[in-house]
Amino acid sequence: MLSEKIQSKFTMSSKLTETLQLPCGATLKNRLGKSAMSENMGSRGYTSNEKFNRLYTRWAEGGIGLLITGNVMVDRFALGEAHNVVIEQGIQDANLPLWAAAGKKEGTHIWVQLNHPGKQSPKFLSKEPVAPSAIPLKKPLDRLFNTPRALSEEEILDIIARFGYAAKVCKESGFTGVQIHGAHGYLVSQFLSPTHNQREDRWGGSLENRMRFVKEVYLAILREVGDSFPVGIKLNSADFQKGGFTQEDSMEVVKHLSDLGMDLIEISGGTYESPAMMGAAQKESTKTREAYFLTYCEEVRKLVKSPLMLTGGFRSAEGMNAALASGACDVIGIARSLAIHPDFPNQLLSGASDKSQVKPLTTGWKFLDKTFPLEIIWYTDQLHLMGEGKEPNLKKSALGSVWTMVYKLGKNAIKKVR
């Protein structure tokens, strides 16, 4: 007779190993999804390269059911970070099919996250970024980002078409799906926010108008890829800013997108101005339940049929299984744990390991911790190691990663964003 502990472990792992059929008909082999992490590894000319192939082979072999790539931009003149990959007319990326093939090993799904940063394109990359309205990011971020220019109707339509084109290229290159980045304060999320979108035309004002952009982006993608190719979206539960995109607004948007047939809605939250996605706004109750946005996800579940992926804070098999068992979400989104432990999914699924080794980072100096986006720098450094065919290095100091990234990407790579 199995002991109670082993029995409960077995029941837990069986939840994670269940397959999931998406509305478009595609099936994910298990309930673990890698959430997007920007690789910052693109070549000159905005293309992907063999480092992406190595990194994604590592992850596919690690047992995850769904890989969502780091954000890929739809316009070379609107980058979120240095070394982004861009998919747009005129850029030929011969490596894309190899990247897709690497991520598809072991029957894994690999979806490309498509993004336009809007005003969240730093000064060293954009002299004049674009946004729904000409409203700058608030202090102290206004030192790093120029005041944006409001988009014209023609430009809005052009960006929508760019998302469609990029999705078509992804499908033709062998990727098995795409995800719209509608979270974290980038362009889609700027359109949804009453603070950042103060337009008086059909793209602003009422929630119906503010969500027009994301709906048109989705429809443009569907026109290009058809309805049997998975299309998902990452959305904010809220912006965590006064006067911003609220949980009520967010629920309405989720409901609309679900009714339109979205295959997977990933729940996150926060913006550069209030980075809740990295755990910044955690309450005590959240700490016990691990996932930062679980309570919100439970509410959304009551409203929509689309499969839900919940991301942010998951660290243990117990926390993941509790979230799945409650029915709040269908897929567990994991990011940082996979940057240091690419085999974590296999270990979770087999029961060999049930805890991630993600820990808070510090340089040992409060001033430096506040100045640099340590989480982003250290984890990006780990992705680069795997891209170079090396093992992640958990012993590497936060300060060591700061120096490595300055050396590799230039001092602009370590400015405090996201």
Ligand X SMILES: Cc1cc2nc3c(=O)[nH]c(=O)nc-3n(C[C@H](O)[C@H](O)[C@H](O)COP(=O)(O)O)c2cc1C
Q: In the complex, which residues of this chain contact ligand X (CB under 6 A)?
A: 35-38, 70-71, 113, 181, 183-184, 234, 268, 277-278, 311-314, 334-337, 375-376, 379-380
Helix or strand (DSSP H, E) at 331: strand 331-334
What's the CA gap between 122 and 8, in Å, rounded? 48
Q: In the complex, what is the shortest distance from the CB of residue 269 to ligand X, in angstroms, rounded to a whole number?
A: 9
Measured from the CB of residue 6, what is the shortest distance to ligand X in angstroms?
27
Q: Which two tokens stand for residue 256?
A: 């609309």
Cα angle for residues 134, 375, 127 (degrees, 5° grid): 25
Contact 63, 349 (CB under 8 A): yes
- Closest of 264, 173, 167, 155 to residue 213, by C-alpha: 155
Q: Are 213 and 156 in contact (CB under 8 A)?
A: yes
Least separation, in Å, of the C-beta of 229 and ligand X? 20
Q: Which is nearer to ligand X, 117 or 132 (CB)?
A: 117
The distance of closest approach from Cβ of residue 55 to ligand X in the complex, given in angstroms and rounded to an integer, is 12
Instruction: Name residue 66's beta-bridge partners.
Output: 33, 109
CB of 330 to ligand X, least distance (A): 17
Nearer to ligand X, 204 or 275 (CB): 275
Residue 134 beta carbon to ligand X: minimum distance, rounded to whole angstroms: 25
Q: Is the CB of 52 or the CB of 204 nearer to ligand X?
A: 52
The whole-angstrom separation of Cα 362 and Cα 349 is 31
Cis omega before residue 129 (within 30°)?
A: no
What is the C-alpha separation between 366 and 290, in angstroms, rounded? Answer: 25
Q: Which of 5, 55, 3, 16 is closest to 316 using CA atoms? A: 16
Instruction: Reduce the DSSP state of residue 155 to 3 states and report it.
Output: helix
Q: Which residue matches tokens 């409901």? A: 255
Give min distance, CB of 3 to ligand X, in A.
31
Our CB check for ligand X shows the closer of 119 and 204 to be 119
**Are 37 and 70 within 8 A, CB to CB?**
yes
Closest to ligand X by CB, 204 vs 267, is 267
- Which C-beta is closer to ligand X: that of 184 or that of 196? 184
Q: Which is nearer to ligand X, 144 or 361 (CB)?
A: 361
CB of 40 to ligand X, least distance (A): 8
Degrees, nearest 5: CA angle 75-114-236: 120
Please, which residue, 202 or 283, has the CB nearer to ligand X? 283
| Closer to ligand X by Cβ: residue 31 or 181 | 181
Q: Enumerate the β-bridge partners of residue 179.
A: 113, 232
Asked if 271 contacts 303 with a C-beta cutoff of 8 angstroms, the reply is: no
Cα–Cα distance between 398 and 418 in angstroms, integer? 17
CB of 385 to ligand X, least distance (A): 13
